[in-house]
Amino acid sequence: MKHHNVLSLILAVCFFFNFPAIGFSDNFLVQPALDTQISWDVKPNGLLCVSYDLNHNGKADYFTVHFVVKSYLADELLVNLPQYYGSNPIFYVDYGSARYIYVASEMPLYYAADINEDGLWDLIYVDTMEDGVNGNEKLQRGSTGEPVAAIPNS
């Protein structure tokens, strides 16, 4: 936690003095291919979070967060699902003969970075247009302008 506070302070100072934040700036955002994910999870707020290891050291450092468009228990074959959902990513949990299906929004709503790979997000960008990384993503900031690494409850 102490580490996190120090990092937040550094990021706030970088923001106020317009320094590049330790290598991370608006252009750190990338759209990793979904098949390069290392794990995924549905959070208590119902959003589906996909983890990536962009620097290939075995620890998650980058995340995309999607809406869950639909979720249900099904026994149909996974190969049949793309015909219903087009390019929406599909995640599932196997329960023997059945599986629980999560259909995610095609593009993420949030992009997050865990710069020091301590399991706590350091920067979050929101892409309200959900149109992929194209420059209209906004860094989440608190009331005093400091970066805020939490997704607001909505």
Interface residues with Ca ion (CB under 5 A)? Answer: 53, 55, 57, 59, 61, 127, 131, 134, 136
Please measure the distance between the N-terminal and C-terminal CA atoms of the chain and give it in whole angstroms.
Answer: 25
Give 132 or 142: the residue with its C-beta nearer to Ca ion.
Answer: 132
Give 26 or 76: the residue with its C-beta nearer to Ca ion.
Answer: 26
Question: Smallest gap, in angstroms, from Cβ of residue 62 to Ca ion?
Answer: 8
Residue type, 7: L
Question: Smallest gap, in angstroms, from Cβ of residue 136 to Ca ion?
Answer: 5
Instruction: Please give the residue whose beta carbon sits closest to Ca ion in the complex.
Output: 61
Q: How many other CB atoms are there within 10 angstroms of residue 33's CB atom?
A: 8
In sequence order, what are the residues at sequence separation of 6 or more whose Cβ sits closer than 8 angstroms to the Cβ of residue 148?
Answer: 124, 140, 141, 142
Question: Smallest gap, in angstroms, from Cβ of residue 94 to Ca ion?
Answer: 27
Question: Smallest gap, in angstroms, from Cβ of residue 75 to Ca ion?
Answer: 37
How far is it, in rounded angstroms, from Cα 136 to Cα 127? 7
Give 53 or 146: the residue with its C-beta nearer to Ca ion.
Answer: 53
Q: What six digits make up the tokens of 88?
A: 């929406």
